[in-house]
Chains A and B, each alone.
Chain A
Amino acid sequence: MRRALPAVAVAALLALTACAGSTPSDAAAPSSRDGELTGPLTVFAAASLTDVFTELGDQLQADNPGLQITFNFAGSSALATQITQGAPADVFASANQSQMTVVTDAGANAEDPTVFAENVLEIAVPPGNPGGITGLADFGDPDRTLAVCAPDVPCGAAAEQVFAAAGIIARPDTLEQDVRAALTKVELGEVDAALVYASDVQAAGDGVKGIPFPQAEEAVNEYPICTLRGAADPRAAQAFLDLVTSDAGQRALVAAGFRSPSS
């Protein structure tokens, strides 16, 4: 009990400074009376969501000055492990269904997950497209220098799916350990093309050029989100989830290169 006291004191202090008008007994509660959200909110989200979730978090915080949003951006599998090991998180957004399943199988979710975004593969080429890449078929050319993710990581598994669907035998020169490493090699101009996610192309800005291809529809990656059972303030957690699935949230995701869920 003694160890918990400083945390309570800090929380109370934060709440006090946030809503100066309320009485001390109200101040200790995670949220205030008139609908405005206060207190801490911890969001665990896939690394690919870093930019767009930070932006949405700033929005929510601007509407609720008493809210203290903390993000933990990392690989979805690392986050899922942390949550099942008892890390204090209020919301979890995963980059794929399988890592969300890890969390729901452990019973850590407060409700059924909702798919809030989709990501598809895109061909990334250096500016000016020195390799003259026109479509997915060029990945079967042994004379070009090509990067694809290793089949052990999600973007590599998706790549295998699209190659199988297109009937292409890929001839990559390197199987990268994650999507960012593949993108870096395009940015350095060391490969003619790499297969990455559309959102990664968007995030890289002018450093790379994206070429969409029709076979990408064969490996659509779904991003599920849910609030967690141990949430300090379920209302704040729900408010963040609602913002992500709202029109404004969807617009921000689309601007970042994601797609709105089709179903």
Chain B
Amino acid sequence: MGVAFLVLPLLGLLVRAPWSDLGPQLAQPQVGQALRLSLVSATLATVVSLVLGVPIAWVLARSTTRGRSVLRALVTVPLVLPPVVGGVALFLVLGRQGIVGRWLYETFDYTIPFTTTAVVVAETFVAMPFLVISVEGALRAADARFEDAAATLGADRWTTFRRVTLPLVAPGVAAGAVLCWARALGEFGATITFAGNFPGTTQTMPLAVYLALQSNPEGAIVLSLVLLFVSLATLLLLRDRWLGRSGVPS
């Protein structure tokens, strides 16, 4: 029942797809452009999320300060915020009239909105909580006594983190990164609000799908299928690579 609920809409896409003129629809230059931009920006957003998110997860899992629950609530805000509101919030901070953005604009004549950077920022904002939550879960499940043992054997905190903690939670980090990447790939609301929509610089696949839906529903279905297949293929490939090599620590 649950599986049917999740899978039937996808089958609906497959059934309604205009298979006969799939070729011409895919040959449009905008399709390749949007797909490339989607993959690049989602990957960059995942990298940024890893760099910024893993330390947050570590603080959430290991520290015992009172501010921890407040921090967790703040980190999960983008999960409950409608992405369009997230986009407006990003404007208010990083936009040309925003708190930080105004300074950037006046000092360096640099603006973030309507650039590929804005796409990565919007996707990171929405997707990073997924990574933080899964890495935090993995860190909690990992036995902290291994870290204590490493410390008693003379390893400093950074060595402990690098040599003991990270390998221990690698599957959790990988799962979080995949979740984060998938969320970034499908991001729509914050992106179209904060980054706008322009082919080649900010028009990702979900934006292209939405606009195609206005004038050419069949084209929209084709684009959806492309996004679906590329993301599924990537996820399956990564699953084999990562989980096949590192495995589950015993």
For the complex, would chain A's binding face be called helix, strand, loop or mixed by DSSP majority?
Answer: loop
Complex Cα spacing A77 to B213, Å: 12
Complex Cα spacing A185 to B153, Å: 58
Q: Which of A123-164 touch B at CB < 8 Å?
A: 145, 147, 150, 152-153
- Most A CB contacts (10 A, CB to CB) among B95, B214, B215 go to B214
Do residues B214 and A152 form an inter-chain contact, with CB atoms below 8 A?
Answer: yes
For B202, give the chain A residue with the smallest CB separation: A174
Interface string of B185-196 (1 = CB under 8 A from A): 000000011011
A219 beta carbon closer than 8 Å to chain B: no
Beyond A145-B111, A145-B114, A150-B197, whether A177 also contacts B95 by CB under 8 A is no
Partner of B97, one of A176, A181, A190: A190
Complex Cα spacing A184 to B189, Å: 14
Do residues B211 and A189 form an inter-chain contact, with CB atoms below 8 A?
Answer: no
Beyond A150-B197, A188-B95, whether A173 also contacts B114 by CB under 8 A is yes
A172 beta carbon closer than 8 Å to chain B: yes
Do residues A190 and B95 form an inter-chain contact, with CB atoms below 8 A?
Answer: yes
Do residues A188 and B211 form an inter-chain contact, with CB atoms below 8 A?
Answer: no
For B214, give the chain A residue with the smallest CB separation: A152
Do residues B211 and A177 form an inter-chain contact, with CB atoms below 8 A?
Answer: yes
Q: How many residues of A contact B (CB 8 A)?
A: 18
For B113, give the chain A residue with the smallest CB separation: A190
Complex Cα spacing A191 to B214, Å: 24
Q: Which of A4-30 touch B at CB < 8 Å?
A: none
Q: Which residues of B contact A110 (CB under 8 A)?
A: none
B103 beta carbon closer than 8 Å to chain A: no
Q: Which residues of A contact B197 (CB under 8 A)?
A: 150, 174-177
Do residues A189 and B96 form an inter-chain contact, with CB atoms below 8 A?
Answer: yes
- Most B CB contacts (10 A, CB to CB) among A152, A174, A175, A185 go to A174
Beyond A188-B91, A188-B97, whether A173 also contacts B198 by CB under 8 A is yes
Size category, B interface: 20 to 34
- Most A CB contacts (10 A, CB to CB) among B197, B203, B216 go to B197
Q: Which of A171-214 touch B at CB < 8 Å?
A: 172-177, 181, 184-185, 188-190
Q: Which residues of A contact B207 (CB under 8 A)?
A: 177
Q: Which residues of B contact A145 (CB under 8 A)?
A: 96, 111, 113-114
Interface string of B46-90 (1 = CB under 8 A from A): 000000000000000000000000000000000000000000100
Do residues B198 and A174 form an inter-chain contact, with CB atoms below 8 A?
Answer: yes
Do residues B97 and A189 form an inter-chain contact, with CB atoms below 8 A?
Answer: yes
Q: Which residues of B contact A153 (CB under 8 A)?
A: 211, 214-215
For B115, give the chain A residue with the smallest CB separation: A173
Q: Which residues of A contact B211 (CB under 8 A)?
A: 150, 152-153, 175, 177
Q: Which of A73-96 touch B at CB < 8 Å?
A: 77
The 6 nearest A-B residue pairs measured at CB: A174-B196, A152-B215, A173-B114, A189-B97, A152-B214, A152-B211
Interface residues in chain B, defined as those with a beta carbon under 8 Å from any beta carbon in chain A: 88, 91, 95-97, 111, 113-114, 192-193, 195-199, 202-203, 207, 210-212, 214-216
**Additional A-B contacts beyond A145-B96, A174-B202, A176-B197 (17; CB < 8 A):** A77-B214, A150-B197, A150-B211, A152-B211, A153-B214, A153-B215, A172-B198, A173-B114, A174-B195, A175-B196, A175-B197, A175-B203, A176-B196, A177-B207, A181-B193, A188-B95, A190-B95
Q: Can you list 17 pairs linking A and B with CB atoms under 8 Å apart?
A: A145-B111, A145-B114, A150-B214, A152-B214, A152-B216, A153-B215, A173-B114, A174-B114, A174-B196, A175-B197, A176-B197, A177-B207, A177-B211, A181-B193, A188-B88, A188-B97, A189-B97
